[in-house]
């Protein structure tokens, strides 16, 4: 199913210049708090003795322990926040681009792909990576980016133009829980760090949110052609998707080893839609879910 071809190396600044950063507010929040705790820990270090003196009402040794403990906690908090900010920045740009390359390498022959779909295309990192594969393979195919709003769709089209693949890309608004496409239409369906956001209004770990995500997985399988390939990189819920795919009796379900993204575990789930539908009454729980994609 996969192939080992060298991924396209792009400079981090080039990726940032093209796509920007979707979750920059979170990054700024983390950095501001990291700086605040860094300054606070520095104050504890520089003014350790005055701080201890101000706590003189406490038992003799307690002020030093209290000030030392508070200073250590603020320093560790600052370090953790800087690490979290770094992971957010890396995940949103470099890692996203790397994972997009790994996902497209799961398809053996892009020249035979006529229609591809990217669910939750965002600003287009994965969308444009698919388009580049179509262009390099000489395919006459197209990839559709499905966005939740017109502004996001327009943003994806702008980045496709910058990447020089605009003729391979179309974007439209749509509800991923009820895809506006006929059955058995796409050769490849992809999605990157999106499906876990569906149903978030109910809370990520509620039954209602899980049901919404399962609707998306079902729709993804519905619009795939027999023999088509689905590839989903997402946070937290990979095993949940794999179980649903087993229930839908698709083939070759694979779950990658975990990669830390956006401070949580992420996995790639891939599968193939059967060319022949399973026999009526066939058991749906006997498929093996295999781990692959080792770096």
Residue 280 has a pLDDT of: 53
Lowest mean pLDDT among 12-21, 90-99, 117-126: 12-21
> Residue 159: which residues within 8 A CB-CB, separation 6 or more?
18, 19, 123, 124, 125, 128
Rounded Cα distance between 237 and 258, Å, is 11
Q: State the CB neighbour count (10 A cutoff) for residue 221.
A: 19
Model confidence, pTM: 0.82
Q: Choose the weakest-confidence range: 58-72, 93-107, 199-213.
A: 58-72
Integer Cα distance of 218 and 214 in angstroms = 6
Q: Judge whether residue 191 has pLDDT over 90.
A: yes
Whether residue 295 is predicted with pLDDT greater than 50 in this model: the reply is no
Burial 92-127 (b: 16+ CB within 10 A, else e): bbebbbbbbbbbbbbbeebeebebbbbbbbbbbbbb
Helix, strand, or coil (residue 13): helix
pLDDT higher than threshold 90 for residue 56: no
pLDDT of residue 48: 86
**Percentage, residues of the chain above pLDDT 90:** 66
pLDDT (mean) for 234-260: 93
Q: From CA 213, how far away is CA 197, in angstroms rounded?
A: 8
Q: DSSP H helical segments within 96-233, as ranges?
A: 96-104, 125-137, 150-163, 207-223
Confidence of residue 283 (pLDDT cuts 50, 70, 90): very low
Q: Which two tokens stand for residue 260?
A: 């830390």
145: pLDDT strictly greater than 90:
yes
Do 216 and 119 touch, CB atoms closer than 8 A? Answer: yes
Query: What is the mean pLDDT of the segment spanning 260-268?
Result: 92
- Compute the distance between CA of residue 85 and CA of residue 32 in angstroms, rounded to an integer: 10
pLDDT of 49 above 60: yes
Average pLDDT across the chain, whole number: 87
pLDDT at 221 over 50: yes
Q: Quick one: how far is CA 187 from the chain centroid?
A: 21
* pLDDT for 1 beyond 60: no
Residue 53: band (very low, low, confident or very high) from pLDDT cuts 50, 70, 90: confident
Q: What pLDDT is stored for residue 25 in this prediction?
A: 86
Cβ(170)–Cβ(127) below 8 Å: no
Let me know: does 146 contact 115? Beta carbons within 8 Å.
Answer: no
Separation of alpha carbons 24 and 20, rounded Å: 9
Which residue(s) pair with 192 in the sheet?
233
Please state the rounded mean pLDDT for residues 218-238.
95
Tell me what the mean pLDDT of segment 86-110 comes to. Answer: 91
Q: Is the pLDDT of residue 229 over 90?
A: yes
In sequence order, the 6+-apart residues with CB closer than 8 A to the CB of 114 are 139, 140, 141, 142, 187
Place 3 in a pLDDT band, splitting at 50, 70 and 90.
Answer: very low
pLDDT of residue 7: 39
């Amino acid at each position: 199913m996969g192939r080992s071809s060298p991924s396209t190396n792009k400079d981090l600044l080039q990726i940032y210049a093209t796509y920007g950063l979707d979750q920059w507010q979170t990054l700024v929040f983390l950095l501001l708090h990291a700086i605040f705790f860094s300054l606070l820990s520095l104050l504890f270090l520089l003014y350790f003795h005055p701080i201890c003196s101000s706590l003189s009402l406490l038992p003799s040794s307690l002020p030093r322990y209290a000030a030392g403990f508070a200073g250590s906690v603020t320093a560790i908090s600052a370090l953790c926040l800087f690490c979290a900010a770094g992971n957010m920045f890396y995940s949103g740009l470099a890692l996203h681009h790397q994972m997009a390359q790994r996902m497209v390498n799961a398809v053996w022959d892009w020249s035979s792909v006529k229609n591809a779909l990217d669910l939750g295309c965002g600003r287009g990192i994965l969308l444009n990576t698919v388009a580049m594969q179509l262009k390099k393979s000489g395919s006459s195919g197209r990839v559709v980016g499905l966005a939740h709003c017109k502004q996001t769709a327009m943003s994806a089209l702008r980045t496709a133009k910058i990447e020089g693949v605009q003729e391979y890309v179309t974007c439209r608004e749509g509800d991923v829980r009820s895809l506006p496409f006929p059955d058995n239409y796409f050769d490849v369906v992809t999605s990157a760090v999106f499906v876990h956001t569906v149903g978030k209004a109910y809370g990520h770990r509620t039954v209602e949110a899980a049901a919404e995500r399962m609707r998306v997985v079902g729709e993804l399988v519905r619009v795939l052609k027999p023999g088509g390939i689905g590839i989903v990189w997402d946070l937290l819920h990979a095993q949940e998707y794999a179980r649903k795919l087993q229930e839908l009796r698709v083939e070759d379900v694979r779950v990658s080893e975990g990669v830390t993204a956006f401070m949580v575990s992420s996995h790639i789930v891939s599968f193939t839609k059967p060319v022949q539908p399973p026999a009526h009454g066939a058991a749906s729980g006997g498929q093996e879910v295999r781990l692959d994609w080792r770096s």
